[in-house]
Structure 1
Amino acid sequence: MVNILYKIRYYLLAVVATACVLLWPGARAATAVDNSLATWFLKDDPALRAYADFRTRFGNDEVVILVVHDPQTLLQPAYFTRFRALTRQLEALPTVQSVTGPGNARVPGRDLTGASARPLLGPGTGAAQVRAALHDRPTLGGQLFSADYRSARFLVELRNLPDFDNRRAEVLAQVQRVVDAHFSPAQAYLGGVGIVYAGLNALSQHDFGLFLGLGYLLMFGVFLGLYRNLRLLLYTLGIVALSTYLTFGIYGALGYRLNLMTVLLPIVIILLGIMDSMHVINERNLLARPGSPALADTLQTLRNVFYPCLSTMLTTVAGFLALLTSPMAILQTFGVFAALGIFFCLLFTYLLGVLLLPHTRPAPRATAAASVWVGQFYQFLLARQRLFTALSLLLIAAFAVGTTRLRTDTYTLGYLPADHRVVRDHQAIEATWGPYMPLELLVRPRPGHTLHDTAVVQAAAAFTDSVQTLTGVGRVFGFQSLYQGGLEAQAKGKARRLLASQGALNAVHRQLLTPEYAPLARQFVHEPSGTGRITISGTMLSARQLTAKMDSVLGMARATLGPVATVQPAGYQPMYSGIVRYVTASQTNSLLWSFLLVFALTWAFIRDFRLAVLTVLPNLFPVLVLLGLMGWLGIPLDTATASIAAIVLSFCTDDSIHFIYAYRQRRRAGLSPAEARLTTLTHIGPTIVLTSVILFFGYSSMLLASLKTVELFGALTALAIIGALYGELVIFPLVLERFDREPGAKPKPVAGGR
C-alpha cells in the first residue's frame, strides 16, 4: 500500500490541490460565526419548538435592558429631553420593534379612554408633575423609575428577524451606539441575555483565535528547537494545515458556520496531527543508518507505523463519533467533523510523508536523548515498583474521590473577566435598579376561563405577591399588571379591590384592544390563543440555580394559578437551564460509548482480549485526572468542558496503541515480556515524551487568556497531558509487568531503542 501511494503521489497531490481550490468558498464561509439556537439544539427538541412557539406569539424575548442612573435625581428637564430623544432614535432603528420607557410612556386618564392619555414627559413637564402622575399609578411607575427616581429603565424589544442570531452582534452594536450618543458609560448600563451572549461570543472568538495562534507558534517553536530541522517542521505543519483547511472547507460547504464548539476543531487536529507526524519522525530517526537511502528508510518507516496509525485513527474517530449520542446538535456536529479532521491527519501523514520525508535528513538527537532518558527512567521504575504502584493507587483513589465532587453547571457571565464592560454594566444595573434578568412564564386559562376573568387575574396577582417573596426576585410584570395598571388610573388606591369586579376588568380589557394600547397588550396577551405572559425579573443565576429557582416559582404558580390556569416556563431561560441536563447526558453517553468503541477496535486490532483490556484501562487514568481535578477545584462540567474528556481519551489511546503494537511485535520475535517492555519503551517512549512536552507548552499558553472557557480548556488539557504521560510511562508498564510476564524472566541489557 505504501508503494502504491508513492507511485501515485503526484496524482493525489493534484486531487488535493483541486479540492483545496473547490473548497475555498466553503472554508471562507465556515469562518463566519453562527451561535444560533439551531446549532445547539436538535430540530425536533421539544424545548426548541416551545421557544419558537413563544416567540411567534409574543415576539423576540431577547430584550435589551437599559438603565440610566444619576446619583442625585433624574427628575430634571434636561433628562426628560434626552429620554425623549433617545427613545425616538432607538425606535427609528430598523432592528428595533418597540421601546418601553420614560421617554414615550403615556399616562392614562381616569376614564380609561385613549383620548385622555397624555405623555408622561411632555414638553414643559416638571419633576412635581411626574411624581404626582406616578404616585397613584405604582404599577406604571415601578416599570419606569426606581423608588428614589435615581434610576430609569428602558426595555428595548428587538425585532424577531429570521437571521437574528447571526446578526445579534450587529443589532446590539447599533443600540449601544445610540445609547452612547446620549449618555456616558458611567451613566447608562446595558443588560440582558443577548448582551451577555454577544460579549461572551465576541471575546471567545478573539481569545480562541489569539491563543490558538500563540499555541501553534509555541508548539512548533518547541518542535523546531527539539529537532532543529525546518523541513520536518514543514512536514508537520503541512499535515495540520491541510487537514484543518479541508475539514473547514467541507464544514462550510455543507452550510455549517463556526460556533463555540467547532472553534475547538483546530485544537483536535493539531493534537492528532503532531502525534501522527512524530510517530513517523521518531520511527525514521530510529530506523535510519548512516549511508542508507533516504527513500528506502522513509517507505520502510511508513510501513512500520501504518497499522498502529490506522488503528489509532479508527479508535479516535470512533471516540468522537460517540458524541452522536449527545442530545445536543452542537456536540454531534463537533464529533462528526473532528472525526473527519482526524481522518485527514492520517491521509496527509502518509501523502506528505512520501512527498517530503525522502528529501529530509533524520534528526536523531532529540529522539536518542529521549530514548536514553526513558530507558533510565524505566530501570528506576523497576527498582521501585512497590513505591510507584502505591503512588499510582493513591492518585487513582484521590482523583476518584474528586469525581464524586464534580457537578454539572454553567454560568455564562462567570466566563467573562471582572473588568469587562458587560460584567460592569450587569453589576451596576443590579446595584441601581435591582434584579433584572427575565424569566418568562406562559399562562393558559383552563376551560371556562379567560385571561381577564376575575379569578384568573386575582390568582395572577396573588402569584405576583408570592413570587416576590423569593430571594433574588425583583419586579414582576405580566398580563395581570395591565389590568391592575388600568384600574389604578381609574380608581387610584382602590384598584386592587376592583380586581374582583368583572365589569371593571371587562372595561380595561376593551381599552387594551384599542389602537392606543394594543402594542403594549400584544407583548403580554396573545388573543388568538388566549394565553398570557408573566415576566419575572431576577438575579442572574447559573443553570443549576435557575433550575432550582424555576421549581420554586412553578410550585407557587400551581398553588395560586393552578385551579384556573396552567403555567409553564417559556422563553430562553428554560433552554439555558436545560443545558445542565444535556451536558450530563452528553458527557456520560459519549464517554461510555467512546470507551466501548475504543476497546472493541483495540481488541480487533490486537486480537488479544487480555492485552486489549490492559491497553485501554490505563488510558482512563488521564480522564480520571481531568474529572477528579475539576471536582477538587470546583470547576463545573459545562458546555465549555463537556468534550475535553473525549479529546483526552482519544489522544491517550493513540500512544497506547503504538506502544502495544510494538510490544506485540517484540513478543512475537521471541523477546521475553521484560525485554519487550524495555525495548518498546525506549522505542515508543521518545514520541510519548516529546509530544507531551510540545503539547503541554502549547496548551499552557491559554492560561493567559481573558475568557474563562479558553483558560479552563488550556489548563485542563495541559494537566491531562501530564496525567497521560504518567499513565503511559508508569501505570501502563506496571500493569504490563504485573499481568503479562514470565516467571523468572529478567530483562537483558539493551543498548539501543530498537
Structure 2
Amino acid sequence: MFKLFTTGFWEAIARLILRNKIFILIAIILATIFFSSQWKHMRFSSTEANLLPDDHEVNLVYNEFLEIFGEEGNLVVLGVKDSTLFSVKQLNAWNKLADSFKGYDEVEAVLSIKDLKKLVKNTEKVQFELEPFITDSISSIEEVNKLQDELFNQYPFYDNFLFNAETKTIRTALYLKKDIINTPARKAFILNNLQEKIDAFEAQTGLDVRVSGMPYIRTLSSQSIIDEIPIFIGGALFVTSLIFFLFFRSFRATFISLVVVCIGVMWTFGILGILGYEITVLTALIPPLIIVIGIPNCIFLINKFQHEVKSHGNKVKSLQRVITKVGNATLMTNVTTASGFATFILTESTLLKEFGIVASLSILAIFTLCLLIIPIMYTFLPYPKERHLEHLNKRWIGAFVNWMESMVKNKKITIYITTLILIVVSIIGIHQIKISGSLIEDMPQNTEFFKDIRFFESEFNGIMPLEIMIDTKRKKGVMKLATLKRMDELEELITDIPELSRPISVVSIVKYSKQAYYNGNPKYYQLPTSQENSFILSYAKNSTSNVDMLSNFVDSTGQYARITTFMKDIGTDKMERIQEDLQAEIDKLFPKERYNVIITGKALVFQKGTKYLVKNLAISLTLAIVLIALFMAYLFRSFKMIIVSLIPNLLPLLVTAGIMGYIGVPIKPSTILVFSIAFGISVDDTIHFLAKYRQELQANNWKIKKSVYAALRETGVSMIYTSIVLFFGFSVFTISSFGGTVALGALVSITLLFAMLSNLLLLPSLLLSLERNIANKEVLRKPSINVIALEDDNEDDKSN
C-alpha cells in the first residue's frame, strides 16, 4: 500500500486538489453540516467510568451483588456540624428540610433525626414496635436536650450513621430511586431541586450544609467536565493561534489555521455523535487535542509554502510543491500519531477503546482538512507580502539552530554523557513511582463538593461504599446465631481499621433488638446468647418493624447477608493491604465449605480497575513502540536505523517517568496516558528529520556530515515551531480543575520539550556516530517510501 505514495502519486493528488478546489470546498462544507447534525446524539456520561471489561471477575462479582441487593450507590448525605443546630428553631428547620425531599419522585426514602425510631418491647403483643423520637415538631429546649441525650448516649445503633456522638455532627440520608441513578434524572434532581433547597435553607438559618454521597459526587464531577470543555477549546485556540501569529506575523495564515482546526473540532464532536459514545473525562480531551495537533500540521504546510514562494516566486507552483513534497511526510507523521492513540483500541477497557477510536479518527480527519483547505485557501489569497516571510530569517531561531549544530559538531561526547546521566537518574526516580487507585484524587480540589468529601471522611470515615456479601448456602442461614457471631467478629476487625467506617448489617439490628428486649438499656446492645435468642426471636417474628429494617441487609430468602462500610480515599497499596487483612480474617471465620464470602463495592471495583488499566496502558505503549518500530523498519530496512530512531523518543519518556517519581506524581489512568500520547507525537520529528536527512544524502553524494547538518538546519526551524506550539498547547490542560488532566497536560508538555531537544541533539549525533555503516546501503538509495520528494527546481507547473 505504501508504494502508492510516490512522487507521482502526490503530484496527481496536488492536481486533483488544485483543479477541483470549489468542489472540494463544497464537499467539506456539506461534511461539516453533516457532522454538526450528529451533535444531537452526543451524550454526557451519567455513570462513573468502569475501567474493567464487562466479563472481568471483579465486575461479575459486583454484578452478582447488585442482582441480590440492588444498586448500592444511591445514598446522598446532608451534614451539619454546628452547635447552634441544637435549638428549637434550627432543629425544626433541619427536620423540615428533610421532609421537603419526600415528595420528589426521584427520592425513594429520607432518613433524618425526625424519622429515627426507638425499637421498644410490647409485652402484651409479644412483639417489637417502633416509636418515634420526635412525634411532630420540637417545642422546647428541654425536648432538644432529651433528644441529644437519647441519640448520643442511649442508642448506639444509629451512631456513625445519622450522627457522630463524639463531635455532635448530624446528617440526613436521602436514598434516590435505584432506577434513576445512572440516568439524566439524577443529574437534574441534584443540580436543580436538591441544590436549590439547600441554598434556601442556608440563607434562612445561617448553617453550613455539607453534601456528599456517590450520586452527588458523580453529578458534580461530570458537570465540571462539561463546564471545562469550552474552556479547553477556547484556551487551546487562543494559545496556539497566538503563538502561530507570533511566529508567522500573518493574520491570513493564522485565520486559515483557525478555520482548519475549528472544522476539525466540529468533525470530532460529530464522530462522537455518530458512534454514540459518551463524553467522559478522556473523550472531553480530544477536541482541544485536535487543535494542539492540528496547528503543527498547519505550520509545516504554511512554512513550506512560504519557503517555496521566497525561493522562486511562483504561487501556484509553490502550492503544488506543498502537497507533493510535504504531503507524504505529514501523512506519515499523522499516521504515527494516530497509531499511538489507536493502540488504546487493543485494550479491554471500553473507556480507552472509545478514546482511541475517536482520537485516531479525528487525527486523520485533521490531516485531511489541513491538506485540502490550506492550499485551496491560498489560491484565493494574494501573493504573500514581504513581512509575511520575515519569520524565515528570525535571528533567535537561527542562533538556536547554530547552537545545536555546534553541539552536534563539537560536543557529541557531552551529549552522550548527559544522556547517560539522565538515564541513570531517571531509572532511580522510576523506582520511586507509586500506583494510585484513588477515586477522588483527580477531582477538582478547590470545589465545595471536594471539601465536603473530606468533611465526611473526617466525621464518618468515608463515603465510598465497601461491601461484604455472605452466602450461607442455605435459606434462613443468616439468622443462625453462629453466622451472626462470625459476622460480629468480622465487624470488630473492620471497626479497628481507621480507614473504614463503623459497619452496619443485620448484626446491628439483632443487637438493637436485644437492647429493646431489655427496655432500651444501652449496655445490652450486643448479640444475644443462645438462651436469650429464643426469647428475642419470638418477639422479632411478630414484628413487621424488624422485617422492614432487615430488608436492606438480608435478601428475601435469608440466605444472603451484606455488611456495609464506607472507605476513606486511600491509595492502592493501602487498599490492597486492607483487602488482604479482611480476606485473611474471612478465611478464618467463614469455612469455605459452609460459606461463600465476597468483598466488593464501588471503592474496590475502581481500585482494581486502576491496576487493570495501568497494565493495559503499559501494553498499549509497548504496542505503540513496536508498531512505530515496524514502520521504521519498513521505511529504512535497517535494524540500526530502528534503534537510532527509537532512542531519541524513548529517552524523553524515561526522563518524564523519573520526574514523576521524584516529585511524587503517581501512576494512574490520567498520567499513564502521557507516554502513549507523547511517544506518538514526538516520533513525528524523527520522521521529518530522517526523511530530510536521507534526501540530503542523495543530494550531497552520500556525504554524511554535510547531510546531517543540512537536515538539522532545514528541519530545525519547523521542529522548534511545532514543539513550542505543542508545549504551550498541552499546557492549556493545566488550567483544569481535575488533577489528572493537569498532570496529563504538564507531563506531555515536558515530554515533548525533551523530545525536541533529543531529536535535534541526540538523533543527529547518533547518525554521525553510527550511520557510516548504513549510508551506502541500497535501502537509502531506493527507500520503501519517499517521505519527502527530491527537489527539482526545473519541474513544470503541472497544475494548470
- Quick check: 282-291 or 382-391, which moved more? 282-291
Partner in structure 2 of residue 749 of structure 1: none
After TM superposition, the score normalised by the length of structure 2 is 0.86
Match of 1:88 among 96, 99, 105: 99
Distance change >3 Å, CA 403–CA 562, structure 1 → 2: same
CA RMSD of aligned residues (A): 2.9
- Tell me whether 1:182 sits opposite 2:197 in the alignment: no
Q: Which amino acid aligns with 1:235?
A: I
Q: Which amino acid aligns with 2:513?
A: G
Offset at residue 438 of structure 1 (A): 3.0
- Quick check: 392-401 or 683-692, which moved more? 392-401
Distance change >3 Å, CA 549–CA 179, structure 1 → 2: farther
Deviations 1:666-709 (A, max 9, x none): 21232411111111111111110011122223333444444323
Match of 1:402 among 423, 429, 448: 429
Match of 1:130 among 132, 144, 147: 147
- Quick check: 111-120 or 386-395, which moved more? 111-120
Offset at residue 307 of structure 1 (A): 2.2
CA distance in 2, matches of 1:597, 1:566: 45
Instruction: Give the secondary-structure state (helix, strand or coil) at the position aligned to 2:44.
Output: coil
Offset at residue 148 of structure 1 (A): 4.6
Partner in structure 1 of residue 350 of structure 2: 329
Partner in structure 1 of residue 750 of structure 2: 719
Q: Which amino acid aligns with 1:11?
A: F
Instruction: Give the secondary-structure state (helix, strand or coil) at the position aligned to 2:179.
Output: coil
Match of 2:616 among 586, 595, 598: 586
- Quick check: 573-582 or 522-531, which moved more? 522-531
Match of 1:279 among 293, 300, 325: 300
Instruction: Give the secondary-structure state (helix, strand or coil) at the position aligned to 1:640.
Output: helix
Q: Which amino acid aligns with 1:681?
A: L
Q: Is the 8 A contact 2:476 2:559 kept in 1?
A: no
Q: Which amino acid aligns with 1:368?
A: N
Instruction: Give the secondary-structure state (helix, strand or coil) at the position aligned to 2:122.
Output: coil
Distance change >3 Å, CA 267–CA 737, structure 1 → 2: farther
Instruction: Give the secondary-structure state (helix, strand or coil) at the position aligned to 1:78.
Output: helix
Offset at residue 460 of structure 1 (A): 0.9
Partner in structure 1 of residue 130 of structure 2: 117
Q: Is the 8 A contact 1:483 1:508 kept in 2?
A: no
Percent sequence identity over matched residues?
18
Partner in structure 1 of residue 5 of structure 2: none
Partner in structure 2 of residue 629 of structure 1: 659
Partner in structure 1 of residue 584 of structure 2: 555
- Quick check: 560-569 or 400-409, which moved more? 560-569
Partner in structure 1 of residue 360 of structure 2: 339
Partner in structure 1 of residue 477 of structure 2: 450
Match of 1:42 among 43, 49, 53: 53
Distance change >3 Å, CA 509–CA 58, structure 1 → 2: farther
Distance change >3 Å, CA 722–CA 605, structure 1 → 2: same
- Quick check: 428-437 or 664-673, which moved more? 428-437
Q: Matches of residues 89-168 of structure 1 in structure 2 within 5 Å?
A: 89-111=100-122, 116-123=129-136, 126-127=143-144, 129-130=146-147, 135-141=153-159, 143-148=161-166, 150-162=168-180, 164-168=182-186
Distance change >3 Å, CA 245–CA 509, structure 1 → 2: farther
Deviations 1:271-326 (A, max 9, x none): 33122222222222333346632111111121012222222222222221111232
Structure 2: 5+ residue stretches without partners: 1-12, 777-790, 794-800
CA distance in 1, matches of 2:460, 2:420: 54
Match of 1:5 among 7, 17, 22: 17
Partner in structure 2 of residue 740 of structure 1: 771
Q: Is the 8 A contact 1:90 1:96 kept in 2?
A: yes
Offset at residue 137 of structure 1 (A): 3.6
Distance change >3 Å, CA 136–CA 289, structure 1 → 2: closer
Partner in structure 2 of residue 567 of structure 1: 597
Q: Which amino acid aligns with 2:334?
A: M
Match of 2:501 among 456, 474, 480: 474
Q: Which amino acid aligns with 2:393?
A: A
Distance change >3 Å, CA 175–CA 567, structure 1 → 2: farther
CA distance in 1, matches of 2:156, 2:338: 62
Distance change >3 Å, CA 206–CA 620, structure 1 → 2: same
Distance change >3 Å, CA 165–CA 620, structure 1 → 2: farther
Partner in structure 2 of residue 386 of structure 1: 413
Instruction: Give the secondary-structure state (helix, strand or coil) at the position aligned to 1:219.
Output: helix
CA distance in 1, matches of 2:589, 2:84: 40
Q: Is the 8 A contact 1:699 1:718 kept in 2?
A: yes
Partner in structure 2 of residue 421 of structure 1: 448
Structure 1: 5+ residue stretches without partners: 746-751
Distance change >3 Å, CA 374–CA 595, structure 1 → 2: same
Partner in structure 1 of residue 390 of structure 2: 365
Deviations 1:321-361 (A, max 9, x none): 11123232111111111110111122112111331133364
Q: Is the 8 A contact 1:435 1:537 kept in 2?
A: yes
Q: Is the 8 A contact 1:468 1:475 kept in 2?
A: yes
CA distance in 1, matches of 2:167, 2:136: 19
CA distance in 2, matches of 1:264, 1:56: 35
Distance change >3 Å, CA 613–CA 167, structure 1 → 2: farther
Deviations 1:578-633 (A, max 9, x none): 13312321221111000001111122233333323311221112222222211111
CA distance in 2, matches of 1:366, 1:725: 20
Q: Which amino acid aligns with 2:408?
A: L
Instruction: Give the secondary-structure state (helix, strand or coil) at the position aligned to 2:279.
Output: coil
- Tell me whether 1:69 sits opposite 2:81 in the alignment: yes
Q: Matches of residues 527-538 of structure 1 in structure 2 within 5 Å?
A: 527-528=556-557, 530-538=559-567
- Tell me whether 1:668 sits opposite 2:698 in the alignment: yes
Q: Is the 8 A contact 2:309 2:318 kept in 1?
A: yes
- Quick check: 130-139 or 94-103, which moved more? 130-139
Offset at residue 386 of structure 1 (A): 1.5
Distance change >3 Å, CA 709–CA 593, structure 1 → 2: same
Q: Is the 8 A contact 1:606 1:661 kept in 2?
A: no
Q: Is the 8 A contact 1:452 1:506 kept in 2?
A: no
Offset at residue 392 of structure 1 (A): 1.9
CA distance in 1, matches of 2:741, 2:93: 41
Q: Which amino acid aligns with 1:274?
A: I
CA distance in 2, matches of 1:416, 1:743: 51
Distance change >3 Å, CA 237–CA 185, structure 1 → 2: farther
Partner in structure 1 of residue 214 of structure 2: 193
Q: Which amino acid aligns with 2:632?
A: T
Partner in structure 2 of residue 463 of structure 1: 490
Match of 2:723 among 681, 692, 705: 692
Q: Matches of residues 484-563 of structure 1 in structure 2 within 5 Å?
A: 484-491=511-518, 492=521, 493-494=523-524, 496-501=526-531, 502-504=533-535, 506-507=537-538, 510=541, 514=544, 516-528=545-557, 530-562=559-591
Instruction: Give the secondary-structure state (helix, strand or coil) at the position aligned to 1:122.
Output: coil
Offset at residue 427 of structure 1 (A): 3.5
Q: Is the 8 A contact 1:488 1:495 kept in 2?
A: yes
- Quick check: 105-114 or 470-479, which moved more? 105-114
Instruction: Give the secondary-structure state (helix, strand or coil) at the position aligned to 2:330.
Output: helix
CA distance in 1, matches of 2:372, 2:190: 47
CA distance in 2, matches of 1:142, 1:290: 78
Q: Which amino acid aligns with 2:657?
A: L
Q: Is the 8 A contact 1:439 1:535 kept in 2?
A: yes
- Quick check: 454-463 or 597-606, which moved more? 597-606
CA distance in 2, matches of 1:345, 1:153: 52
Offset at residue 441 of structure 1 (A): 1.4
Distance change >3 Å, CA 463–CA 291, structure 1 → 2: closer
Instruction: Give the secondary-structure state (helix, strand or coil) at the position aligned to 1:642.
Output: helix
